[in-house]
Every structure is written in C-alpha cells, then in structure tokens.
Chains A and B, each alone.
Chain A
C-alpha cells in the first residue's frame, strides 16, 4: 500500500495527508544505526546539565546525601560552633554549581539547598520561596525561548528533581510533609526519601512505608501517566513499590572485609551505604543518576515546563480568542508568544 501524496499547491505537508507510512524492507546494510553513535558523540561534546534540589529540615543529612550521591564534596556541610547561627530565620535557597566528569561525560551539576525549611516554630507557607524559585527558573527559560534571536543552547537552570527528606518518625507523614509534597509535585519531579533510615529496623521501615505510601502516591515521580510503554511501566512499577526509599548517607570510607566501603561507623556495626540489604541508597542513586536522569529532564521539559508556559501565556492573554494572521492555523488552540 502506497502512501502517495501529490502536492499541486505546496501548502499541504506530507504529514497531514499521508495516510499510511510504508514500512519497507532493507535489502542490505545501510548504516542508519550509525546515527546513534553520532548522537552519542554530539551529546558527549555538549555535555549535560542537571539541577537537583534537596528539601528537608536541617539535620536530616541532606548535604551528606548529596555528597554520597556524587561521591565528592558537592555541598559544604555546616560545621563550626553556634547551632542557632546556622539556622536561618527564613527559608533560603543556595545553589552551588560544579562540573563533574566521568569517562568523558561532562556534567554540570547544580545543587540547590534549602536551609531553614521547616525549622521555624511557625512553618506556614515555608514552601513559598521554593515554589517561587522553581517558577523563576521556568520563567528564565521561557524568556530565552521567546526571544527572536535566541541562543543555540538555552542555559537550563530548571530544577529537574526535588528530593524531599522525610524524618524517620516511624508514624505518619506530618502535615508539613503532606502539604509540601502535594504542592510541589505539581510543578517539579518529587522524589521523597526517608532520611536517616538507620534509625528504623526493617520491620519498622516496612510499616512506615506502608502507611505513607497511600498518601499522595500518584503525584510522586515516576508518575504513572508518563510511562511510555509497557517496559517502562514494569520498571517504574517496581520503583513505585519501593518509594519512598529509606536512605542513609555517608561520605567516609571504612575498612570492611578488606575493602574500602562508604559507610557509617557506629558502636554496633558499620552501615554500608551501598549495600542494598542495609539501606536503599543504591536504589535512589540508580533512579536519580543511572537510569532515570534523562527521563527526569525530559519530564521537566515536556510536562512541568509546558504546563508553566501554558499557564503563563494564558494569564497574560485573557482577551478574545479569535485567530489572527497566519500564526493560528490550528483549530482549538490560540497561539501566542
């Protein structure tokens, strides 16, 4: 079956009128798959950007966790005297950018920390600065995208993933946690983790997870709506069953069985961070970095950024919806800049 499209007036695009894309047999090797290598080379040359945000009360081990994730001193931990001096009076956001390289792959990593979150006596609206920051990044990107002469590569400062640290109470999620997760999962990929999970036994951990899992599960990354195909769904279902991950962070190495291993040394034993039997840190690392990093970026770009853009453009254009010029060709939507 042929999909012939004759174009007397070249206004039609083949996409509109070509009913059946003909699937053809190749008689021999053409070399189309070389495009994969080309793409790989191109991305290695341009490098990647990744922006991570960590949110949680102070003392939950956020900075340590980031250092463990990226195996380097990404965040500066608060050291020194004066406990009261360290806690800011309001929620502040601090971003640190580093360039890390592994096997030829360069990554520009930006970690945004939120000291002061949830630390006050009255924590009402403490999520507002965070929401504002995230939206500001979207706004910056939108402005760049709208320009007439725009850059070849728009700098991407949008937050790709927000890791929320839940204190290991063992009971329920606190109202603050619920509020925060509910609000933020709408605009950013939310990955909740149980911090300092070495204070929970395995049974307590399972209990805690069971209790918190029902609450707000749909909005947590990876969201079910965005599974591309059945393979993805199977993989993501496995992940969804384990969320929230119970993690332990450590950036010191210790000698275990003759090997140097990252872990926390306590009087009663050494908690190996990368041992799946001890904690779920490897799962978090795999999710964030090894398997879903690109997906996190894609969802941020295709879903969260688009919904921000749509909202923004709609609110600055509340006038009549009549199509104008050649800008608006399609039926239901009005085009705007």
Chain B
C-alpha cells in the first residue's frame, strides 16, 4: 500500500486565529512543573589562588554554610575538589555542585596549573557524551555534572592581570562560561577600582579571551543584562558574619576604619553578581553549556575519532558505518600487533635457546678440557710417586747395605782391636 504524505506545508506556516480559549497557554507551566519535580542541577567551578575567598563567597552567595576546611599552601599540584549539595527554596530543589581548585597558584612552577582544570571539565563532557552515545541510555534522569559557570577570581593587585590568569582563562574560554570577578575588593580604593576594571577588560579583549556574555536578545532581561555588563568584572566582597548596621543585621566586614557592607551596591558588586549568576541568567548559563560548549566538545571529539557527516545524498548512518570500519581497522591493527609481538617473542625465545645451547657447549668443552688436564696431572703425579718410591726403595736398599757394611766393619774393627789388645797383652811381647 502506497503511502503519500501530502502537503507537509513546512514553508508557509499558516497562522490560525483561535475562536475561544483552548488552554495551551498552560504549557510553560506544565513544563516548569515537570522540571520542579525533577529538580535542577547547577555546577559552579571556582578558580582562584588559595586564600582568595572562594569558599566565603560561595557561602555568601547561597546564604548558607558549606562545610569545608581551608586549604594549605603546600599542595604539590592543582587538584579539583567537588562537593554536591541539595538546596531547597520554596518548591525548587537545586542540586548544586561546587568545584574548587585546591592549590592553584601555590607552586613555584605554574606551567601546568591549568591542565587539571581543563581535564576535569573535559571529563564531565566525556561522561555526558558517553551516556548520550549509549544504546540503552537514560538521559532524562542523568545527573548532569558539566560545569555551567566558572567564576574566575582575580587577585586585587590593582594593576593588571597576572600571566597565570591570562593563560588559564585562555585555555578555559572555549570550554566553559567564564565570569571574571575581582576578589577581596575591599582592598582597592574606588578610583583605583575603575582603572583596574578597565585594564582587565582591555587585557582580556586584546588577548582574545571570550568571557560569558550576558544575553541581550530577550527583551525582559536585555536591559538589566546590558547595564550589568558594564560593571564587569564584578568586584566582590564575601562575608558570612553579620554586623549591626542601623537597626538591622546585615552581612559585612568590620574594620577599625569602617564597615564594608556586602549587599550595599556602593561598597561592592556582590548584589550584581548574585543577580546575574542566579536570579537572571542561571537557565541561560545551563543552556549555553549544553548547546555551545558541550556541542563543541562533542564535535571535536567525534571528528578526532575520524567521523564526519557525509553529504546529504550519501548513505545513511555514515557514523555507524565509519564506526564499523574504524572498529574493524582497529581490531585488525590489534591483531597485527599481537602477531608481531608473538613473532618477536618466538624469535627471542629461539635466540635465547641458541645462546644457552652455546653456553652449554662451552661448559662441556671446558669440563672435558679440565678433565683431561686433571688426568694428565694425575698421571704425572703417579709417575712422580713411582719414581719417588723407587728412589725410596733404592735408598732403603742402600741404607740396608750400608748398615750391613758398617756393622761388618765394626765387627771386624772390634776383632782387630781385640787382637791388638791381645797382642799387646801377650807375654811374649818383649820389650825390646
């Protein structure tokens, strides 16, 4: 049965006028209700040196106390610490994750400081990409850990950006929404602050760092966003302690020379930061992360793996087939490598065997040689022994013979003397 899908009418969409109340104006409410029952995720990354006030600012922003111990300055490298919290305000549940850069700026050699940060951001994107690529996936209850906003804490030197700041921001600007803020702004005087801000902004522009642009296309927020953008980077002061000012308690920092009120717009830009980050643009930050930064990451990652979109008239599921081809190629390579390794192994074994055989042969030879030498030596010794024995026996004979002779001679001698004596002693001996 032939199917003719007629008149999709995509080009000219007719506008219809309704003759009564239909009721789909409740759609945004339906959508919002769904989202509130599921809850929201928001992930903030705080990049800044140790002790610059990241934790305090987070406490001040969200009006609560996030438990954390201050970090030491002895970290060997930059480490990212992430903590998740569940906040609830009226019927909105927010799953807030705050990621801290521990040890940033503490090392002597800061060349690689940005790397753990970039790796962390990429890891979150990768996790989402993997979930998205699964066959059986559950994206609607996936806990999104991608960083939606990066607060970059600039030290209040009053001069310009440090080179570490420039390098780090440049590496991060295509991966995350960067909102630069000047920390501990109560150490800068007002006139210096203005110069400092413009210096920072011009440096960012001249180095091509793309910071987050507050959206100005929607009329309801365009105005407030435009006015706020002028004050970038926000000079903030954080404090969780309350000081009595007038007749009410408000968050402030008390000095001998005065009190810096956190929520006083003349004193610092904290209120502006809170407006921009939470009350006006939270949803836009999330959307930008998903539609811009994540898509860029995904595109780069897939292209890096060798996939490309084919031309429109080409076969379908090119990704699928390319993937298959790549997979087979990879498998083939693996096999080849395995073969190679196996062959090399076999060769090595053979070599070793030959070597060992040689060594064995040498040993045998040596052994034979030694044996022979030993035999010869033994023979020589035997000969010598024989000679010696002969000599000994000769000597014994001679000795025996000599003794006999001697004893004979002695006997003869003694006889002779006796004869002589007798002769002497005979009476006959006349004396003449």
Interface residues of A (CB under 8 A from B): 2-8, 10-11, 13-15, 18, 21-36, 38-45, 48, 50, 69-74, 90-105, 107-108, 125-126, 128-129, 132-133, 143, 146-150, 152, 228-229, 262, 285-286, 289-295, 298, 301-302, 306, 309-310, 313-314, 316-317, 319, 324-330, 333-337
Contact = CB atoms under 8 A, between A and B. Distances in A.
Contacts of A103: 25
Contacts of B287: 42
Interface of B: 1-10, 13-32, 34-37, 40, 61-67, 79-92, 94-95, 97, 99, 116, 119-120, 123-124, 126-127, 130, 133-137, 139-140, 143, 145, 218, 220-221, 274-275, 278-284, 287, 291, 295, 298-299, 302-303, 305, 307-309, 316-317, 319-320, 323-324, 327, 330
A70 B22 contact: yes
Contact of A105 (B8, B25, B34): B25
Nearest to A35: B282
B120 A10 contact: yes
B391 to A, nearest CB: 88
B282 A71 contact: no
B88 A294 contact: no
Contacts of A324: 327, 330
B9 A95 contact: yes
A95 B8 contact: yes
Contact of A91 (B1, B63, B275): B1
A38 B282 CA distance: 8
A337 B317 CA distance: 8
Given A15-B143, A229-B37, A4 B18 contact: no
Given A22-B83, A101-B15, A327-B130, 13 more contacts: A14-B97, A18-B82, A26-B62, A38-B282, A42-B284, A44-B28, A73-B16, A74-B16, A146-B317, A148-B309, A229-B37, A285-B22, A301-B140
Contacts of A41: 218, 220-221
Contacts of A148: 298-299, 302-303, 307-309, 319
Contacts of B21: 71, 102
Given A35-B282, A317-B320, A5 B81 contact: yes
Given A70-B18, A316-B320, A92 B6 contact: yes
Nearest to A313: B135
B63 A337 contact: no
Contacts of B320: 313, 316-317, 336-337
Given A71-B19, A333-B134, A24 B64 contact: yes
Contact of B5 (A43, A95, A291, A294): A95
Contact of B25 (A18, A70, A102): A102
B62 A316 contact: no
Nearest to B94: A32
A255 to B, nearest CB: 15
Given A27-B63, A298-B34, A310-B135, A90 B95 contact: no
A319 B324 contact: yes
A253 B167 CA distance: 70
A98 B90 CA distance: 38
A6 B22 contact: no
Contact of B92 (A5, A24, A36): A36
A232 to B, nearest CB: 9
Given A27-B63, A96-B7, A125-B1, A43 B31 contact: yes
Contacts of B22: 69-71, 100, 102, 285, 289
Contact of B274 (A4, A31, A317): A31
Contacts of A29: 63, 89
B20 to A, nearest CB: 4
A107 B27 contact: yes
Contacts of B218: 41-42, 45
Most chain A CB inside 10 Å of its own CB: which residue of B40, B279, B308:
B279
A13 B18 contact: no
A8 B102 CA distance: 10
Contact of A11 (B32, B89, B99, B123): B123
B8 A129 contact: no
Contacts of A96: 7, 9
Given A22-B67, A35-B40, A98-B16, A91 B3 contact: yes
